[in-house]
Chain A
Amino acid sequence: MSALVIDVRGLRKEFTITRKAGRLRRTRHTVAAVDGIDLRVGRGELLGYLGPNGAGKSTTLKMLTGVLMPTSGEVRVCGLVPVAQRRRLAARIGVVFGQRSQLWWDLPLRDSFELARHIWRVPAADHATRLARFRRELDLDDFLDTPVRQLSLGQRMRSELTIALLHGPEVVFLDEPTIGLDVVSKQAVRAFLTELRDRGDTTIVLTTHDLADIERLCRRLVVIDRGRVVHDGTLGALHERYGSRRRVLVELDEQLSAPIELPGVVQESSSANGRLITFSLDGSTTAGELVGRLASVAQLRDISVQEPAIEDVIARLYASSTTPPHPRRSRP
């Protein structure tokens, strides 16, 4: 058995959009929401699946979970073909669609977990062990007897994660699990996912727009735009590729007598009196080397190092993808 949990080749999904063109006439356009994606994910990986709104993230997840039928391409999840083997696959995966609840709205939260045990046919002992763990890690005890409709968004999301994981799925798909949460709830969810990732037995595919999620959780990022993969690699590789720069801010006792000249170091700005200077580094010179050189030519009062902001990288990435806009084929 292969270690690949998700194996996707040439995945495509086309939608037909009908537009009004005049009183009775309709024109039909075929739009590729997912346009040839290849993706391989190994056991225990945590994959950040990113992209701007409408890039095809949710469509991809729906095809991986058996909700949508691909137009073309091959998909295997846990060795199964999602739509054809939907029920067998559903037994082995967990899904949180951020906006769509798996919980029973009018019943105490506890009842949803009990129902899930029967739906997924989890042996009572396994269920009890897992539930005890999630109650501890996600702090569920205070609202187990509260009807779901009365839960706060943060409490609900923690509950959604629990119900998606109670049957011990091999893969979980999390579609924006932190959307709309306050800082404390986000941290709770993140800490929980970190723990789940570090156990190493669950493969996690996560879509998010939250940059802190990406930095804290995702070792591997797949960025898609207009239905195509534009980056597949680590966050570091992403920074490198899009020329993100670390910054070094120094405060000196006096002005520099001569500009610093080191490979890859640019003086971005300096204050009016010339004592506060910002340098940016592209990686060919380390921050330590720069500080060393500065210390040899001037008296240093203070230094700080700023890591590159992922916002900038992602924004640049989204802006730079130059795939032609949507309609590919049209017919009257």
Chain B
Amino acid sequence: MADLSEATRRLGIYRRLLGAQVRSHSSYRASFGLDLTANALMPLLDVAAVLAMFRVTKTLGGFNAFEVVVMFGFSATAFTLADLAVGNIERIRFYVRQGTLDAVLIRPLSVLGQLLTLDFTIRRVGRLVVALAVLGFAVSRANIVWTPGRMIMLIAGPLSGAVFFSAIFVGTATVAFWWIDSGEFANGFTYGGKDFTSYPITVYSGLFRRVFAYSLGFAFVGYYPSLALLGRADPLGLPAWVSWSSPLVALATAVVASVVWRFGVRHYRSTGS
């Protein structure tokens, strides 16, 4: 019980930090509205790019347009949710360079918790809303036979994907502790991962698919949860239970990311900025 009230108090502190951040941003009102709109456009452009493919082909990697948009919806929802929650971690390279991290380390709060609230921006919520709308639309048109398991997967899939992408965000941002000019390195995995997961992995081939889809786990963001939802067997021949394993993959990735993160913070403290 004591632990529970302690956890509640901590959450209360982060909620306040978050509130402070939101107020900070809304003090620039004009750019706030503009950003919110521009952000909402992003997933729309992305889905248009996917649909453009179907002007020249009826199926993509063995899936029809609605099925592919279900995959896209899973991917976009997972990504925008993760981006909203932890996307600002990419700014860590500025904190490391400018020494802002020192100010974070002298507060009695966790480093990651503070960094996530420090630059939180509500503007990205527009993307999430659009991504959810796309997912909802695709799911309603894709002739899905609803079972309790599939309903759960409709919720658990994007959430697992969000955890997975969050882990990718944190894990790759950690590179900044070693390599201050890390620049676009993390983006290759985060935004690159978002684009990769917008299409069925059957369109990729060979080593590229093996590395990104399976070794790094990106197949479990959009592709496999969609197979579970659509009730389709994997054209690549993996057993049906694989389609349901996204939550486990997300959990494992999160564990790896947290180890990498801790290692990174320790490294920072032993080298300085």
* Between-chain CB contacts (< 8 Å), 5 pairs: A66-B106, A86-B105, A87-B110, A97-B102, A107-B27
Query: Other CB < 8 Å A-B pairs besides A83-B269, A100-B100, A121-B9, 4 of them?
Result: A69-B270, A87-B110, A90-B106, A104-B20
Contact of B102 among A83, A100, A119, A121 (CB under 8 A): A100
CB of B95, distance to nearest CB on chain A (Å): 10
Also in contact, A105 and B105, with CB within 8 A (given A100-B99, A115-B17, A118-B16): no
B-side contacts of A106, CB under 8 Å: 23-25, 27-28
CB of B41, distance to nearest CB on chain A (Å): 26
B206 interface contact, C-beta 8 A: no
A182–B230 CA distance with the chains assembled, in angstroms: 70
With most chain B CB atoms within 10 A of its CB, the pick from A67, A95, A101, A106 is A67
Mask of A96-131 contacts with B, CB within 8 angstroms, 1/0 = 010111101111000100010011110000000000
| CB-based contact A95/B20 at 8 Å | no
A88 interface contact, C-beta 8 A: yes
A59 interface contact, C-beta 8 A: yes
B-side contacts of A16, CB under 8 Å: 271
CB of A56, distance to nearest CB on chain B (Å): 12
B13 interface contact, C-beta 8 A: yes
A-side contacts of B100, CB under 8 Å: 100
Contact of A120 among B20, B108, B271 (CB under 8 A): B108
A-side contacts of B24, CB under 8 Å: 104-107
Mask of B88-119 contacts with A, CB within 8 angstroms, 1/0 = 00000000000110110111111000000000
Contact of A90 among B12, B16, B99, B108 (CB under 8 A): B108
Contact of A62 among B16, B108, B110, B272 (CB under 8 A): B272
Also in contact, A66 and B272, with CB within 8 A (given A115-B16, A118-B12): no
B266 interface contact, C-beta 8 A: yes
CB of B31, distance to nearest CB on chain A (Å): 12
Classify chain B's interface size: 20 to 34
A68 interface contact, C-beta 8 A: yes
Q: Which 10 A-B pairs have the closest CB atoms?
A: A106-B24, A90-B108, A69-B269, A91-B108, A87-B108, A95-B106, A69-B270, A67-B105, A67-B102, A106-B27
A16–B272 CA distance with the chains assembled, in angstroms: 10
A141–B20 CA distance with the chains assembled, in angstroms: 21
Interface SS of chain B: helix, strand, loop or mixed? Answer: helix
A87–B112 CA distance with the chains assembled, in angstroms: 13
| CB-based contact B272/A68 at 8 Å | yes
Q: Which residue of A lies closest to B102 (CB)?
A: A67
A147 interface contact, C-beta 8 A: yes
A-side contacts of B270, CB under 8 Å: 68-69, 71
Also in contact, A65 and B106, with CB within 8 A (given A111-B20, A118-B13): yes
Contact of A100 among B17, B28, B103, B269 (CB under 8 A): B103
| CB-based contact B108/A67 at 8 Å | no
Contact of A101 among B16, B23, B28, B103 (CB under 8 A): B103
B-side contacts of A59, CB under 8 Å: 272
Also in contact, A67 and B13, with CB within 8 A (given A83-B269, A100-B100, A104-B20): no
A-side contacts of B25, CB under 8 Å: 106
Q: Which residue of A lies closest to B23 (CB)?
A: A107
| CB-based contact A90/B13 at 8 Å | no
| CB-based contact A119/B107 at 8 Å | yes
A15 interface contact, C-beta 8 A: yes
A153–B108 CA distance with the chains assembled, in angstroms: 26
A-side contacts of B272, CB under 8 Å: 15, 59, 62, 68
CB of A84, distance to nearest CB on chain B (Å): 11
| CB-based contact B106/A67 at 8 Å | yes
| CB-based contact B103/A87 at 8 Å | no
Q: Which residue of B lies closest to A95 (CB)?
A: B106
Contact of A107 among B20, B107, B266 (CB under 8 A): B20
Q: Which residue of B lies closest to A120 (CB)?
A: B108
Mask of A75-92 contacts with B, CB within 8 angstroms, 1/0 = 000000001001110110
